[in-house]
A and B are shown apart, each in its own frame.
Chain A
Amino acid sequence: MHRARHCLAPAALALVLAVPAALVAPAASAQSVRDLLQQRVPEALRPALALTVEDEIRAGQAAAANLLGVAPLVADEGLQRYVNTVGRWIAMGSERPDLPWRFGVVDSADVNAFAAPGGYVLITRGLYASLGDEAELAGVLGHEIAHVVERHHLDLMRKSLLLEMGVQSLQKQLEGDREALVRRLVGTGAEIFARRLDQGAEFQADRHGMVLAARAGYSPFGLPAVLQKIASVDRTDDRVTLLYRTHPAPDERLRQLEAAFGAGLDGLDRPDAGGKLHPLK
């Protein structure tokens, strides 16, 4: 049984990689390949693809450094320290409080925020400028922190590498040079931030983001308020193009949040909690 499962995935992988047809198990239909592509990394293969937290942090660091090459940090240490303070406090209430959490505002008009593995969270100036209060910042950071806690992007990197290399050579790589492994995980430039997670992961990050903000003492409704602002922007505006490309539409995200929480957050509003948003210069 174990052996059979172990063999099926490489067969499907081979098909994806257009390896000669003789290598492809006849049972591997187009449907099963599609299933494989849509799944997260199959449970049976996880031990073979074990990454350490150090690998994860180094991959996140590299991805963040690449993103900062396109969108540099806003040159305002007060602002950066402020976002780190709020972000750190929220992350401390998550299931991974001990990661080396780093937050930053990057200089781009794009309306977006990014999470890289290991605790690197970057929000654009364009999104920050649209925030109305600290609870909204908490909601946005909560969503990104949830991606890190759930290892959504790390899983996506790992799955891509698995598809690219196949199981055997990836296993060999894992026994060898870790730096090369991290480089391959990150891929080209900051491409990881242009890729779409499966929408279940986004809906989960929304739910968890609201909860993380509430755990930190904020009103949980900052995140949906931001989603409403985004929904009010014409989607042909190129400042939201990347966001729409990589995320489900905001009105669908709002619908999912309503379906998940209903009236379950009544009584958690805290209008007086939190400080003032640090102003943009």
Chain B
Amino acid sequence: MLVVALLLPLALAPRPAQAQAQSQAQAQAKSQPSPTPGTTTRDTELKARPVVDAPTLARLPAKSAVTIVERRGGWLGVVSGGKRGWVRLLHVSSRPVGASGPTVRELETAARVATGRAGSGNVAVTTGIRGLTPEQLRSAQADPSALDALERTAVEPAQASAYAAAHRLARRPLPYPPAPREARDAPR
């Protein structure tokens, strides 16, 4: 079931404008969401490729409906108004399946049939145990032996650095940005 779920978005999605090497597509397949309805949170551009200087296919005003079919770094592969393209990830908010256009419904129905998911996107359905409640948390009793287990699997800086070096994780200096004076759109 997992494999189906992971491959489905690619199967449903129109081919990317620029087919990258297949191995790269496969490497990224696991990070792809199943088709999810989304809305643009501000005016933005639908780009032909996931780069800033790619040609603009369409201008999307704030609150445009999109169907998210793929993610690549800071870009989302979307379908909007029948066009397949890329928008900046931070310009889109997703939402549960609900009042959305026929394209979204079509994709979601297909996803639901193929994967058995309840159409809620990417959080896998589980059975039995459910969420944590404040009451459970308040009545929690310490498990001191769990602290020992936590200690046992601790990792020291040298081990973490070795992992980083082996996986192309290079340290980069980057300051924290200040808090925005105000969000561009006031909360509803």
Would B138 and A102 count as touching, CB distance under 8 A?
A: no
State whether A194 touches B183 (Cβ < 8 A).
no
Interface locus among A27-35, A44-52, A62-70: A62-70
Q: Cβ of A221 and Cβ of B73 under 8 Å apart?
A: yes
Question: Is B154 a contact of A211 with CB atoms below 8 Å?
Answer: no
Interface stretch (choices A1-9, A17-25, A109-117) = A109-117
Contact of A232 among B120, B133, B146 (CB under 8 A): B120
Least CB distance from B187 to A in Å reads 5
Q: Is the CB of A102 within 8 A of B41?
A: no
Contacting residues, chain B, for A130 (C-beta < 8 A)? 122-124
B74-116, CB under 8 A of A: which get 1 and which 0? Answer: 1000000000000011111111100000000000000000000
Chain B hits for A221, CB < 8 A: 71, 73-74, 89-90
* B interface: dominant SS: loop
> How far apart are A250's CB and chain B's nearest CB, in angstroms?
7
Residues of A within 8 A of B93 (CB): 228, 231, 250-251, 254-255
B177 engages A260 (CB within 8 Å): yes
Q: How far is the CB of B30 from chain A (nearest CB, A)?
A: 6
Contact with B along A83-116 (1 / 0, CB 8 A): 0111111001100010011101000111110000
Q: Is the CB of B171 within 8 A of A64?
A: no
With an 8 Å Cβ cutoff, the count of chain A residues facing the other chain is 104
In A220-240, the 8 Å CB interface with B consists of 220-221, 224-225, 228-235, 237-240
CB pair B132–A242 under 8 Å, yes or no, is: yes
* Chain B residues with CB under 8 A of A89: 160-161, 163-164, 169
Number of A-B contacts (CB under 8 A): 284
| Shortest Cβ gap from B155 to chain A (Å) | 4
The chain A residue sitting closest to B44, CB to CB, is: A258
Complex formed: what's the CA distance from A224 to B28 in Å? 17
The reply to whether A104 and B179 form a contact with Cβ atoms under 8 Å apart is no
CB A58 to nearest CB in B, in angstroms, measures 11
Report yes or no: B168 in contact with A200, Cβ–Cβ below 8 A: no
Q: Which among A88, A120, A218 has the greatest number of chain B C-beta atoms within 10 A?
A: A88
A129 CB-CB contact with B under 8 Å: yes
Distance of A133 Cα from B28 Cα, bound (Å) = 8
Q: Which residues of B contact A231 (CB under 8 A)?
A: 93-96
| Cβ-defined partner of B171 (8 Å) among A135, A216, A274, A277 | A216
A251, B96: Cα distance in complex, Å: 12
CA distance A250 to B160 in the complex (A): 30
Contacts of B37 in A (CB 8 A): 232
What are 20 residue pairs bridging A and B, where the CB atoms are less than 8 Å apart in the complex? A61-B147, A89-B161, A109-B130, A129-B123, A132-B32, A132-B71, A133-B31, A194-B134, A194-B138, A204-B179, A215-B173, A216-B164, A219-B74, A221-B74, A225-B31, A228-B89, A234-B96, A250-B93, A260-B177, A270-B168
Not counting A220-B74, A225-B89, a sample of 8 additional A-B residue pairs whose C-beta atoms are within 8 angstroms of each other reads A70-B132, A110-B130, A211-B175, A216-B164, A231-B96, A255-B187, A258-B184, A271-B72
